[in-house]
Structure 1
Amino acid sequence: MTITPNSAVPPGTLMSDEAYGALRAAAALWVGASVLITNSLGKVLIQHVDYRDTCLLPGGAVDKGESPAHAAARELVEELGIDAPIDRGLAVDWVSADTVDTPAVMRFPGEILHVFDGGTWDDERIAEIRLPPHEITGIEFTEPARLPDLLSPADARRALSALRARINATGTVLLENGRPIAPGVLDRLAVLRTVRPHHHLPWHQGPAPRELTVTQVWAWLFAPDGRVLILLDPGTGSAVLPGGKPEEQDRGDPVSTLRREADEEAAARLTSPLLLGHVTDLPGRRAYLRYAAALTGLAPARPDPATGHTYARILATPEQAMDLFDWGPPAAGQLAAVHRARRQLGIPVAAPQPVTELTGDIGFGPGRI
Structure 2
Amino acid sequence: MTDDDPARFAYLAEGNAKQARKRVAADVLITDQAGRVLLVDPTYKEGWDLPGGMVEANEPPRVAAERELREELGLTLTVGRLLVVEWVPPHGPWDDQLVFIFDGGQLDDAAVSNLRLTDEELAGLRFVTLAEAKSLLKPRLWSQVEKALRARSRDTVAYAELESGAGDVTRG
Asked whether the 8 Å contact 1:82–1:129 carries over to 2, the reply is yes
Identity %: 36
Task: Judge conservation of contact 1:33–1:114 (CA < 8 Å) in 2.
Answer: yes
Equivalent position of 2:159 in the other structure? 174
> 1:120/1:179 Cα in 2 relative to 1: closer, same or farther (>3 Å)?
farther
1:41 aligns with 34
Number of equivalenced pairs? 157
CA gap 1:124/1:29 in 2 versus in 1, 3 angstroms: same
Shift, 1:18, TM fit: 4.7
Q: Distance in 1 between matches of 2:87 and 2:119?
A: 32
Question: Per the alignment, in what secondary structure is the counterpart of residue 67 of structure 2?
Answer: helix
Q: What is the CA–CA distance in structure 1 between the aligned matches of 2:119 and 2:69, rounded to whole Å? A: 15
Distance, in Å, in 2 between the alignment partners of 1:93 and 1:173 is 8
Report the Cα distance in structure 1 between the residues aligned to 2:112 and 2:101, rounded to whole angstroms.
20
1:74 to 67, 92, 112: 67
Contact 2:85 2:101 in 1 (8 A): yes
Q: Secondary structure of the residue that 2:71 maps to in structure 1? A: helix
2:96 pairs with one of 110, 113, 135: 110
Question: Could you give the per-residue CA deviations for residues 252-302 of structure 1, whole angstroms, max 9, x where no partner exists?
Answer: xxxxxxxxxxxxxxxxxxxxxxxxxxxxxxxxxxxxxxxxxxxxxxxxxxx
Q: Distance in 2 between matches of 1:136 and 1:156?
A: 19
List per-residue Cα deviations over 1:81-114 (Å, max 9, x = no partner). Answer: 01010231111111111xx3x23xxxx2200110
Corresponding position of 2:124? 138
Aligned to 1:61: 54
Q: Do residues 21 (structure 1) and 16 (structure 2) align?
A: yes
Q: Give ranges in structure 1 of 5+ residues lacking alignment.
A: 1-15, 183-369
- Tell me how far 1:176 sits from its aligned partner: 1.2
SS of 2:80 mapped into structure 1: coil
The CA deviation string for residues 284-331 of structure 1, in whole angstroms up to 9 with x for no partner, is xxxxxxxxxxxxxxxxxxxxxxxxxxxxxxxxxxxxxxxxxxxxxxxx
The ranges of structure 1 where at least 4 consecutive aligned residues each deviate by more than 2 angstroms after the TM superposition are: 16-23, 145-148, 177-180
For residues 82 and 144 of structure 1, the distance between their equivalents in structure 2, rounded to whole angstroms, comes to: 22
Preserved CA contact (<8 Å) 2:79 2:105? no
* SS of alignment partner, residue 112 of structure 2: helix
Q: Which ranges of structure 2 fall in alignment gaps of 5 or more residues?
A: 1-10, 163-167
**Which structure carries more helix by proportion?**
2
Contact 1:60/1:71, CA 8 A, preserved across alignment: yes
Distance in 1, Cα, partners of 2:79 & 2:38: 16
Give secondary structure in 2 for the equivalent of 1:126: helix
> Does structure 2 retain, via aligned residues, the 8 Å contact 1:28–1:109?
no
Of structures 1 and 2, the larger Rg is shown by 1
Using the size of structure 1 for normalisation, the TM-score is 0.41
Contact kept, 8 Å, 1:73 with 1:84, in 2: the verdict is yes
Instruction: Name the amino acid aligned to 2:161.
Output: E
CA-based RMSD: 1.7
Q: What is the deviation of 1:121?
A: 0.8
Matching residue of 1:207: none
Are 2:73 and 2:119, in contact at CA under 8 Å, matched by a contact in 1? no
Q: Determine the C-alpha separation between the residues in 2 that align with 1:117 and 1:133.
A: 22
Equivalent residue, structure 2, for 1:213: none
1:125 to 108, 111, 118: 111
Tell me, yes or no, if the aligned pair for 2:31 and 2:38 is still in contact at 8 Å: yes
**Taking structure 2 as the reference length, what is the TM-score of the superposition?**
0.84
Matches of 2:13 and 2:60, distance apart in 1 = 25
Gap change, CA 1:83 and 1:133, over 3 Å in 2: closer
CA-CA distance at 1:126 after TM superposition? 0.2
The one of the two structures with greater contact order (alpha-carbon pairs below 8 A, sep at least 6) is 2
Counterpart of 2:7 in structure 1 is: none
Q: Quote the offset at 1:148 in angstroms.
A: 3.1
TM-superposed deviation, 1:151? 1.6
Deviation at 1:127, TM superposition (A): 0.7
Structural mapping, 1:273-292, within 5 Å: none
Q: Per the alignment, in what secondary structure is the counterpart of residue 144 of structure 2?
A: helix
Distance in 1 between the 2:71 and 2:14 partners? 39
In 1, Cα distance between the equivalents of 2:13 and 2:113?
A: 52
